[in-house]
Copies of this chain bind each other. A is one copy, B any other.
Amino acid sequence: MRRMKVVIIGAGFAGLDAAKLLRKCPRVDVVIVDRHPYQLFSPLLYQVATGALPEDDIAYPVRAAIPGVTFVRGDVVRIDPQAHHVRLYDGQVIDYDQLILATGSVGTTFGIPGVEENALQMKSIADARRIKTRLLNTYEEVQEGRLPRESLRVVVVGGGPTGVEVSGAVAELQASLVREYPDIADRASVTLVEAGPRLLPSFTEESSAHAKEELEQLGVTVKVDTAVDRMYERDVHLKTGEILPAGTVVWAAGVAAPERWSDLGATGPARRLVVDEFLRLPGAPDVWVIGDTAAFSPDGGAPLPMVAPVAMQMGRHAARNITALATGKLMKPFHYLDKGQMATIGRRRAVAETPQGIRLHGTPAWLAWLGLHVAYLAGGRNRVSVLADWAWNYLAWSIGPRRAIIE
């Protein structure tokens, strides 16, 4: 049996977990292609955006991260399932026997006017850096009289875990900046806008209510049943007619699979590619789709959510099925094991729940969140560094977060 070449596009949770398992199979050669030579730990992106963590803490060099796996930095622009190759932006062509598409998701604006131009996304290190710079620069510009004081309002759109986490973190950042900007700090505020009837719609109603209460304790104004109509440079217009002047708008309202794969096959909600029970693209049996890019609907129901645990389980499952192919064994259908979900709201404020009915709120949920996130960070160094930074943030809170550099 000749060796099998597996090309993985995307070095995120799904792609890397697939690679880690695949490299254990001696018949398989693994190549990972990604635009960045680092793995981004996106669940903590909001902490970089609000200055609680330095950006290096949530990025891990991907070259040599998995011994025996080849890394190619590049942007895949086309996939040709017939010819069994992919083409990179620079013209390079990489052929494959099996292809794993694990390119995650991108922010989507739902076509709402002005969002593209005026809201800040939350998907990449560059996005987080832009948010942090905007937040801190706004204080400087207001202090210097170059921006109106209303600019100190931050609007976060989207009441899912990301929106809740950003809102809480921005409120805590604002509280820590009172000492540095005593004359203007009282004008700083956060408004969280959610189109649906409650925050954290994938959680129980009890957890939703708890999250709202906790955010309000932090000073966040929560507006549910409130959709955004359009955005301008200096303000957000809501469907209710209300106008919110704001210097920073963070868009956490929705993500979708990258547009460039839409013609590879049938797509479900959010442009996600529909996959079969084994996680393959129907009609292209050598193409596997995993993570946020894939729409896998157990028992014909709604597709699994676009979260890291789903991505990691899909990655490992695709790797096991490809190993089965390479070694002449039988493939197995994918089953998702739901271990629960959690969202953090602020220091010692979080919600967590499991399908078995366990509900944690407040400090216990927050500690669980802390432990899990440190455990899943790649690289001992990043773990140590994040722990040290958090210890400082949470124990010596009065000193304020690290966020000195604005350029």
- Enumerate chain A interface residues (CB-CB to B < 8 A): 36-38, 54-57, 59-61, 63-64, 72-74, 125-126, 140, 143-144, 179-181, 379-382, 384-385, 388-389, 392, 396, 399-400, 402-407
Known contacts A54-B54, A54-B55; decide if A60 and B381 are in contact (CB<8 Å). no
Top 3 nearest A-B pairs (CB, nearest first) are A59-B404, A54-B54, A38-B404
Contact: B144 with A73, CB < 8 Å? yes
CB distance from A161 to the nearest CB of B (A): 24
CB distance from A270 to the nearest CB of B (A): 26
CB distance from A27 to the nearest CB of B (A): 23
User: CA–CA, A179 to B61, complex, Å?
Assistant: 11
B residues in contact with A382, CB < 8 Å: 402
Contact: B73 with A140, CB < 8 Å? yes
User: CA–CA, A73 to B404, complex, Å?
Assistant: 13
10 residue pairs of the A-B complex, CB under 8 angstroms, read: A38-B406, A54-B55, A56-B402, A61-B180, A61-B404, A63-B181, A74-B144, A380-B396, A381-B402, A385-B402
- A72 to chain B: closest residue by CB: B144
CB distance from A379 to the nearest CB of B (A): 8
Q: How many copies does the complex hold?
A: 2
CB distance from A23 to the nearest CB of B (A): 16
- A401 to chain B: closest residue by CB: B381
B residues in contact with A144, CB < 8 Å: 72-74
Contact: B405 with A381, CB < 8 Å? no
Contact: A406 with B180, CB < 8 Å? no
Which of B57, B143, B179, B405 makes the CB contact (< 8 A) with A59? B405
User: CA–CA, A399 to B380, complex, Å?
Assistant: 9
CB distance from A180 to the nearest CB of B (A): 4
Known contacts A73-B140, A392-B384, A396-B380; decide if A405 and B56 are in contact (CB<8 Å). yes
Contact: A384 with B388, CB < 8 Å? yes
Contact: A403 with B73, CB < 8 Å? no
B residues in contact with A56, CB < 8 Å: 54, 402-405
B residues in contact with A403, CB < 8 Å: 56, 61
Known contacts A140-B37, A396-B381; decide if A407 and B179 are in contact (CB<8 Å). no
User: CA–CA, A382 to B38, complex, Å?
Assistant: 25
Contact: B399 with A37, CB < 8 Å? no
User: CA–CA, A407 to B59, complex, Å?
Assistant: 12
User: CA–CA, A349 to B403, complex, Å?
Assistant: 32
Contact: A180 with B385, CB < 8 Å? no
Contact: A392 with B381, CB < 8 Å? yes
Contact: B180 with A405, CB < 8 Å? no
User: CA–CA, A403 to B384, complex, Å?
Assistant: 15
User: CA–CA, A143 to B92, complex, Å?
Assistant: 14
Contact: A38 with B402, CB < 8 Å? no
B residues in contact with A57, CB < 8 Å: 54
